[in-house]
């Protein structure tokens, strides 16, 4: 079975991009590259990019394209992406899409994964359902297990089933982030679709 080239999973926070990405990882054996995971890793490691991003995320704002692009660029240089990869939530904006377009063109001649068909999937969920997913989300700071008080609650309210650690929650920050994403990201999906269509045409 030949894996596809880059797979793009697009949509607002909470639509299930991560869930679908994990299914694709099992199916194709290529890595999931999540901008959320990259941001959290950079923040946890205290990298210069992470320190800048931390303050922005704490305000519930979207991290600037330049920071996200640089984190993605570093990740895509790792060997496990050579046969393909899944971009979870990237590109999120037109600027990110144009950056990715340039990178795909620049690497198509020397990276086999870039010459394979590009696959883009836009996942859409009702806004009220998104709100429940976002505000109900709880995270274990130790094992990173994700719970939801509405659909996947822990056995003991407020504590991780695996580690027993107190779960973290920032519902108001998550609500602001969702509003910001809907205001700035979702209206651009149609424009992103046009760019993606041009990628597909140029690679036929």
3-state secondary structure of 126: coil
d(CA 103, CA 125): 30
59 or 191: which leads in pLDDT: 59
Write out the E strands in the chain. Answer: 7-10, 32-34, 86-88, 119-122, 137-139, 146-148
Domains recognised in the chain with CATH numbers:
7-124+186-202 (3.40.50.300), 126-169 (no CATH)
Rounded to two decimals, what is the model's pTM? 0.67
Distances (CA, A) of 182 to 1, 43, 56: 37, 24, 17
pLDDT at residue 160, rounded to an integer: 93
d(CA 181, CA 162): 32
pLDDT at residue 67, rounded to an integer: 92
Distances (CA, A) of 34 to 126, 147, 164: 22, 18, 26
Does the pLDDT value for residue 179 go beyond 70? no
State mean pLDDT over 2-12.
77
State mean pLDDT over 55-63.
80
Average pLDDT, the chain: 79
Contacts of 75 (CB under 8 A, 6+ apart): 33, 38, 81
């Amino acid at each position: 079975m030949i894996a596809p080239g880059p797979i793009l999973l697009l949509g607002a926070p909470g639509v299930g991009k991560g869930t679908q990405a994990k299914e694709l990882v099992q199916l194709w054996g290529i890595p999931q590259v999540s901008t959320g995971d990259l941001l959290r890793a950079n923040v946890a490691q205290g990298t210069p990019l992470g320190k800048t991003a931390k303050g922005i995320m704490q305000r519930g704002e979207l991290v600037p394209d330049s920071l996200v692009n640089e984190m993605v660029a570093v990740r895509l240089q790792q060997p496990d992406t050579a046969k393909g990869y899944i971009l979870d939530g990237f590109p999120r904006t037109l600027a990110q899409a144009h950056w990715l377009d340039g990178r795909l063109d620049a690497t198509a001649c020397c990276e086999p994964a870039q010459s394979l068909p590009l696959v883009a999937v836009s996942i859409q969920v009702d806004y009220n359902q998104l709100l429940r997913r976002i505000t109900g989300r709880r995270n274990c700071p130790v094992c990173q297990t994700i719970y939801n008080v509405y659909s996947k609650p822990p056995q003991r309210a407020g504590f991780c089933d695996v580690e027993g650690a107190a779960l973290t929650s920032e519902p108001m920050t998550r609500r602001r982030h969702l509003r910001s994403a809907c205001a700035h990201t979702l209206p651009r999906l149609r424009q992103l679709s046009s760019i993606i269509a041009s990628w597909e045409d140029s690679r036929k």
